[in-house]
Amino acid sequence: MRAAVVEAPGRIALRDLPDPTPSPGEVLVRVEWVSICGSDHHAYLGEFGPRVRFPAVLGHEFSGVVVGLGPGTGGPPPGTRVVIDPVLHCGVCPACREGKISSCRSLRLLGIDLPGGFGSLVAAPAHTVFPLPAGLDLRLGPLVELASIACHAAARSRYAPGESVAVFGAGKLGLMVVALLARSAPARLVAVDLDPSRLELAKKLGASDVVDVRTADPVARIRELTGGDGADLAFEAVGAWREVPGRRPPVTAAAESIRNGGRVLVLGQGPDEQPVAWKSFVWKEAEIIASRVNRGEFPRAIALVASGRLPVGEMVTHEMSVEQAPEAFRMLDEHAPGAVKILLRHGPKP
């Protein structure tokens, strides 16, 4: 099979690899579309070591067509259009036994810990393979995984309609959170970033207000927009952040932007520590919550994307061939203007 292989941190190349053979309980999927996630970029840069071992075939957001089943495996028959939930949990650790599979201490992901959609064929456990509704384009299939993470994060945050929300980071996941919450009747929905094109996209997806951290203090602006109180809820979806003179790091700003008794939901997985004014946080008796991957929200995410009510297609800024993967990652390395969600296709352009 043809695959884009990360051979070492910051180096990706196209290679021909042996085709995987599905074992009992596995489904063989011919990948049609794969998207580049923020986690893929972190792994490509070497920030997921020693978890990601090079050479690595990344790509945990992908869709395709079933082309085979392992011996004795029941599952979608060959020819079925599918999307894959990449989350693999152990089922026996204390978190799994409580049903908190997203907190599994041995959690693995197809496309991070195991070969994923940057290869043209993937052998996936049958229970992770979901048929797509007839009206859902395979091209949008990779966006389902991102939508499932946003659904899980919203549930973890205990968001309620009528609350005021700030989303720090208008990248892939932050924009998906904006798109989801914008359709859930927030009183205010403020997107914060330093990329004007991403802020414009946040407005298009439903943000009521946007703040460019280069020209305005987001904490002061959020307080102003909420009558001086602060937001009920703030999401931190920045991860790896770039310092802006005179501005607080994202987690710090999120903590300072919420009202007394408010909540911060942290999604970012940046490599750097960020200080938080814990005294102020304690005085507010606020909450900080972490969220990771999804916890059974995949079917709901498929339904949302298929319904068209969650406009995930608006987030796709570039479509390229897997053969152009090195170029796509260079765009992300260089923070190319306007680059948000990059889709890579296997095979010829449709």
CATH value at residue 340: 3.90.180.10
Domain contains 81? yes
The answer to whether residues 108 and 159 belong to one domain is: no
> Are 332 and 244 in a shared domain?
no
What is the pLDDT at residue 246?
A: 85
Residue 297 within any structural domain of the chain: no
> Are residues 177 and 53 part of one domain?
no
The predicted structure's pLDDT at residue 30: 98
Clarify whether residues 153 and 284 are in a common domain. yes
User: What's the pLDDT at 58?
Assistant: 98
In a domain, 160, yes or no: yes
User: Does 299 reside within a domain?
Assistant: no
Both 153 and 230 in one domain: the answer is yes
Q: Do 280 and 168 fall within a single domain?
A: yes
pLDDT at residue 234, rounded to an integer = 98
Q: Write out the chain's pLDDT in tens, 350 residues.
A: 999 999 999 999 999 999 999 999 999 999 999 999 989 998 999 988 888 999 999 999 999 999 999 999 998 999 999 999 999 999 999 999 999 999 999 999 999 999 999 999 999 999 999 999 998 999 999 999 999 999 999 999 999 999 999 999 999 999 999 999 999 999 999 999 999 999 999 999 999 999 999 999 999 999 999 999 999 999 999 977 778 888 888 999 999 999 999 999 999 877 777 778 788 889 999 999 999 999 999 999 999 999 999 999 999 999 999 999 999 999 999 988 889 999 999 988 77
Judge if 170 and 255 occupy the same domain: yes
b/e map 316-338, b = 16+ CB within 10 Å:
bbbbbbbebbeebbebbeeeeee
* 117 in a structural domain: yes
Please state the domain count of the chain: 2
Give residue 237's identity as a one-letter amino acid code: A
Q: Are residues 48 and 167 in the same domain?
A: no
Q: Quick one: pLDDT at residue 227?
A: 97
pLDDT of residue 45: 92
Q: Is residue 295 part of a domain?
A: no
Nearest Cα to Cα of residue 60 among 32, 26, 37, 94 = 37
Q: In angstroms, rounded to a whole number, what is the distance separating the alpha carbons of residues 319 and 168?
A: 26
Residues 160 and 280 placed together within one structural domain of the fold:
yes
My answer on whether 16 and 101 are in the same domain is yes
Instruction: State residue 80's pLDDT score.
Output: 98
Phi, then psi, of 235 in degrees rounded to 5: -105, 135
Q: Which structural domain range is residue 72 located in? A: 2-131+311-345
Q: Is residue 92 located within the same domain as residue 38?
A: yes
CA distance 339 to 228: 34
Backbone phi, then psi, for 290, in 5-degree steps? -105, 150
Same domain membership, residue 325 and residue 228? no
Q: 196-205 and 172-182 are packed helices; what angle lies between their axes, rounded to 10 degrees? A: 30
Q: How many other C-beta atoms lie within 10 A of the C-beta of residue 243?
A: 8
Does residue 70 belong to any structural domain of this protein?
A: yes
**pTM of the predicted protein model:** 0.95
Residue partners of 171: CB distance under 8 A and separation at least 6: 38, 193, 198, 237, 238, 239, 340
Specify if 140 maps to a domain: no
